[in-house]
Amino acid sequence: MNGSTIIFYLLTTLILVSGILSVTTRKIFRAAIFLLFSLIGIAGLYFWMQYEFIAAVQIVVYVGGITVLIIFSIFLTQQAGELLPKQNKGRILFSVLAAFCGFALTLLQIFRHTFGRSFERPVLPSMENIGNQMLGIEANGFALPFEVVSILLLAAMIGCIVIALRSKPETV
Amino acid sequence: MMEPGLYHVLIISTALFFIGVFGFLTRRNLITMLMSIELVLNSVNINFIAFNKYAWPNKLDGLFFSIFVIAIAAAEAAVAIAIIINLYRSHQSIDVENAADLKF
């Protein structure tokens, strides 16, 4: 039991507890804040696995971007201090049952499978390797998906503006 | 308490995935459903990174997949929130039970 193991279990507790609280709390603003902590825990897990670049992307995009967007939309659409309506017991019971059965089935499959491991020389996930491969056009380069994603982001941006445009100004 | 490895990370991501599924099934508010989807997408990213680290450390493909998943998730969240705000403007509510009618 060394420090790395203790940090791993602390991060696990943070991710799972705040994830569960985020989907069960009846105050929507608290749900957003618990989601924030869960995402920070996931970024910590990436740091723990020594994938620093992806951890930084996680913090910038999820913690700094998506959570703020969600909190903004909560402010725009909810009355302050209003609790979410109670769900009926049957729906909660069957949802717990479905989630638990799926969880058990997936864990069963994971433990019955032995994952292979490649013993070739590991590639460090350093900024230099990532950049070279991301924009590389030779074999194993990701230049084409990179361009496709940039087109997708442009399309999403235009789509957001078109959807959120006020079509009839007289209806407030 | 063992040394954490691939299986530990897979257990976390499976648990997070089904927490998200549970939230998606029980919540009736569109914003909280979107939060559950974010949890599901994050659990997928954890899986990609874990397989990259523990099973194929000689390649970076899992890392690139998770970068693209993050980019697409950001686009998806932005479009979803635009739709939610538009729905709130027309229905004064973002509960899925009240959004049962289609326009055309």
Same domain, A56 and A130: no
* pLDDT exceeds cutoff 80 at B101: no
What is the per-residue pLDDT for B67? 93
The answer to whether the CB atoms of B58 and A42 lie below 8 A apart is no
* Closest alpha carbon within chain A to B78: A160
List the domain range (segments joined by +) for residue A166: 124-172
What is the per-residue pLDDT for A163? 86
- Is residue A106, in this structure, part of any structural domain at all? no
The answer to whether the CB atoms of A54 and B34 lie below 8 A apart is no
Per the CB < 8 A criterion, the answer to whether B49 and B66 are in contact is yes
Same domain, A2 and A53: yes
The burial class, CB within 10 Å (0-12 / 13-18 / 19+), for A38 is: buried
Question: Which among A61, A69, A118 has CB closest to B58?
Answer: A118
Same domain, A57 and A6: yes
Same domain, A71 and A3: yes
Task: Report the distance separating Cα A54 and Cα B70, nearest Å.
Answer: 10
Per the CB < 8 A criterion, the answer to whether A26 and A101 are in contact is no
Per the CB < 8 A criterion, the answer to whether A23 and A87 are in contact is no
List the domain range (segments joined by +) for residue B75: 6-93
Query: Chain B closest CA to A152's CA: distance in Å?
Result: 8
Same domain, A58 and A128: no
CATH code of the domain covering residue A28 = 1.20.120.1200
What is the per-residue pLDDT for B99? 74
- Is residue A24, in this structure, part of any structural domain at all? yes
Per residue, what are the HEC states of A70-89? Answer: HHHHHHHHCCCCCCCCCCCH
Same domain, A70 and A132: no
The answer to whether the CB atoms of B79 and A160 lie below 8 A apart is yes
- Is residue B27, in this structure, part of any structural domain at all? yes
What is the per-residue pLDDT for A170? 57
Per the CB < 8 A criterion, the answer to whether B69 and B78 are in contact is no
Cα angle B17, A68, A146 (rounded to 5 degrees) comes to 70
Residues in chain B: 104
Query: Chain A closest CA to B25's CA: distance in Å?
Result: 6
* pLDDT exceeds cutoff 60 at B104: no
* Closest alpha carbon within chain B to A143: B64
Alpha carbon dihedral A151, A71, A78, B94, in 10-degree steps, equals 30
What is the per-residue pLDDT for A32? 93
- Is residue B102, in this structure, part of any structural domain at all? no
Residue with the bigger pLDDT between B45 and B56: it is B45
- Is residue A94, in this structure, part of any structural domain at all? no
Question: Which among B4, B25, B86 has CB closest to A98?
Answer: B25
- Is residue A114, in this structure, part of any structural domain at all? no
- 10-residue mean pLDDT profile of chain A (172 residues): values are 91 95 91 94 94 93 91 85 80 93 95 85 85 85 92 93 74 50
Task: Report the distance separating Cα A132 and Cα A137, nearest Å.
Answer: 9
Residues paired with residue B95 on neighbouring β-strands, in sequence order: B29
- Is residue B70, in this structure, part of any structural domain at all? yes
The answer to whether the CB atoms of A156 and B78 lie below 8 A apart is yes
Long-range contacts of B59-62 (CB under 8 A, 24+ apart): B59/A118, B59/A123, B59/A140, B60/A123, B60/A125, B60/A129, B60/A130, B60/A133
- Is residue A115, in this structure, part of any structural domain at all? no
CATH code of the domain covering residue B36 = 1.10.287.3510
- Is residue A5, in this structure, part of any structural domain at all? yes
**For chain B, what is the domain count?**
1
Radius of gyration, CA atoms only, chain B? 17
Please identify, among A57, A84, A111, the residue that sits at the C-terminal boundary of a domain: A84
Residues paired with residue B29 on neighbouring β-strands, in sequence order: B95
Query: Chain A closest CA to B98's CA: distance in Å?
Result: 13
Please list every residue in chain A whose beta carbon sits closer than 8 Å to the beta carbon of residue B79.
156, 159-160, 163
Which of A57, A64, A95 is CA-nearest to residue B36? A95
Cα angle A85, A91, A94 (rounded to 5 degrees) comes to 150
SS3 A160: helix
- Is residue A76, in this structure, part of any structural domain at all? yes
Computed over every residue of chain B, the mean pLDDT equals 89
What is the per-residue pLDDT for B38? 93
* pLDDT exceeds cutoff 90 at B87: no
Express as a percent the part of chain B with pLDDT over 90: 60
- Is residue B100, in this structure, part of any structural domain at all? no
**For chain A, what is the domain count?**
2
Which range, of A43-47, B43-47, B82-86, averages the lowest pLDDT?
B82-86
The answer to whether the CB atoms of B31 and A77 lie below 8 A apart is yes
What is the per-residue pLDDT for A107? 94
Please list every residue in chain A whose beta carbon sits closer than 8 Å to the beta carbon of residue B32.
23, 28, 31, 84
